[in-house]
Amino acid sequence: MAHFAKLDENNVVIGIDVVGNADCQLNGVEDEATGIAFLTNLTGYSNWKQTSYNTHEGKYYNSDGSLADDQTKAFRGNYAGIGSIYDEINDIFIHPKPYPSWTLNTSTAMWEAPVPRPEDDLKYVWDEDNQQWVGG
């Protein structure tokens, strides 16, 4: 089974579809183009990208939530969700940019604040006007 993100004309994810193994394999191997062809034939819509249900922040996780030993399975940064954006240049799915000052870390496919969040168990929110974390 494979997951495919349906993209609008701006590469924003507008849906997720699941394709069975028999419909997304070529010669017994999962193949993105075969899955896209299946979905295009089924729906008449052709703007799809495969996404990995087990990939988050650039890392691949086992079905039990533990970090996988084999990180070659990490695929396109993050599992796509409705409203996520497919970044064609970096071939990753990213969430919408939360604040103008944040920058994209293409290794993790995540937005990062210009100042690291404090590493404790307290709750913080980003104050964009003052460029700092507040709360705690």
Alpha carbons 48 and 3: distance in angstroms, whole number: 10
The tally of domains found in the chain comes to 1
In a domain, 6, yes or no: yes
In a domain, 89, yes or no: yes
Residue 84's domain spans which residues?
2-96
Q: What does the pLDDT read at residue 47?
A: 97
In a domain, 26, yes or no: yes
pLDDT at 136 over 80: no
pLDDT at 87 over 80: yes
pLDDT tens profile 23-78: 999 999 999 999 999 999 999 999 999 999 999 999 999 999 999 999 998 999 99
Percent of the residues in the chain that have a pLDDT greater than 70, as a whole number: 99
Q: What does the pLDDT read at residue 33?
A: 97
In a domain, 25, yes or no: yes
Q: Which of 132, 100, 103 is nearest to 116 (CA)?
A: 132
Alpha carbons 91 and 117: distance in angstroms, whole number: 27
Q: What does the pLDDT read at residue 130?
A: 96
Q: What does the pLDDT read at residue 35?
A: 97
Q: What does the pLDDT read at residue 2?
A: 95
In a domain, 118, yes or no: no
In a domain, 105, yes or no: no
Mean pLDDT over residues 121-136, rounded? 93
Q: What does the pLDDT read at residue 69?
A: 96
Q: Which residues contact 119 (CB under 8 A, 6 or more apart)?
A: none
In a domain, 112, yes or no: no
Average pLDDT, the chain: 95
In a domain, 135, yes or no: no
